[in-house]
Chain A
Amino acid sequence: QVQLQESGPRLVKPSQTLSLTCTVSGGSTNSGGFYWSWLRQPAGKGLEWIGRFFASGTTNFNPSLESRVTISVDTSKNQFFLNLSSVTAADTAVYYCASRSGDPSFFDYWGQGALVTVSS
């Protein structure tokens, strides 16, 4: 059973870069067939997919965020990362990492989420 845990600063100043880490257990970021995603959810609102890393090295991003997003992986630490640059208050949300092995059409493992607030 894959388990995911988000970590990182919970308060980020406007115009700076939001950086989060997802630590994976029960699965390997180096395993073929795994998709590693980031999503977010502003308070009281719905879910938004941010982007995804596939074990082959391929990344895909939500077009609305693509210019500001980087997703990378450190297979030696079994972690993957989210960087979101030039943040504003609109980026305040609970950020989730999620994964899927096999067909990529849904997310079956989720982290518990990390509330990140953008404020000066």
Chain B
Amino acid sequence: EAQVTQNPRYLITVTGKKLTVTCSQNMNHEYMSWYRQDPGLGLRQIYYSMNVEVTDKGDVPEGYKVSRKEKRNFPLILESPSPNQTSLYFCASSLGRAVPLYFGPGTRLTVT
């Protein structure tokens, strides 16, 4: 089944404790990206990647890191999480720029 997977789905952590949210797709998509969803705001892009070892900042990259060592994986790293990073996070992938995004199931992160 073609899909984007994310783990964990839910995470409660404390300020400053490094964490990684994994994202994997099995569709051989070139493009992958991370979004966060906050109440009253649209999906805001954090980082995106156009291919292996090619990443770039989105609209809200502060406090996040990513890597794309393999085509299928695009982990999101929070080196020192803070409460303002409490949010719903989505990973997405696509074949190109004018085709649909496929979203993962989402990760709800709470930083206390």
Answer whether A and B are interacting partners. Answer: no
Which residues in A have some Cβ–Cβ distance to B below 8 Å?
Answer: none
Which residues in B have some Cβ–Cβ distance to A below 8 Å?
Answer: none
